[in-house]
Amino acid sequence: MSQTPLDPNAPVPSADELRREMLEKQLAEMEREDKLRDLKREQLSKFADEFFNKHVGEQERSIIRNVVSRAVKDGKMEALVYSFPSDFCTDSGRAINSADPDWPQTLQGKAKELFDRFKEVAQPQGYRLKAMVINFPNGVPGDIGFYLNWEPPVA
């Protein structure tokens, strides 16, 4: 990477000019961060709207089947098949985080629908479902993950 040589005869910028240039860079970075934050907020809002107001669609079921199929090909007995913000649980994920046996009662929206479908279809076929907090931003529960497991039962 080559740099443009500095003109030795160019006037030396004033301290005010350097501070102004630094401030302009900082403002540009702040604007970029604001746009990124707005985009993330918009994406979360859209996800929340779909999570609470729509049903699990064929596309989502197809993604889950593909994730499981890929895990099987990789020799795994478990796969993360769905995740959502812990704030979408009625207790912000506390029951799941503490392994409370009544954690399914805290589910809402698509998470509840997926759990109910698991109980109806997958569990009778020998599958197990584990819910757990998968990240802790700033030390608090972030996202919940649903892990589908098909290991043989331990005798």
DSSP string, 54-76: SPPPHHHHHHHHHHHHHHHHTT-
For residues 77 and 128, membership in a common domain is answered with yes
- Taking 80 as the threshold, does the pLDDT of residue 123 lie above it? yes
User: CA geometry: angle at 47 spanning 136 and 68, to 5°?
Assistant: 70
Let me know if residue 9 belongs to a domain.
Answer: no
**Number of domains into which the chain is organized:** 2
pTM, to two decimals: 0.75
For residues 65 and 83, membership in a common domain is answered with yes
Task: Determine the Cα–Cα distance for residues 34 and 40; give it in Å rounded to an integer.
Answer: 10
**Residue 7: its pLDDT value, please?**
81
Task: Determine the Cα–Cα distance for residues 7 and 2; give it in Å rounded to an integer.
Answer: 15
Task: Determine the Cα–Cα distance for residues 40 and 146; give it in Å rounded to an integer.
Answer: 23
How confident is the prediction for the chain on average, in pLDDT? 93
Binning pLDDT at 50, 70 and 90, where does residue 10 land?
confident
For residues 46 and 31, membership in a common domain is answered with yes
- Residue 63's domain comprises 59-149
Percent of the chain with pLDDT over 70: 97
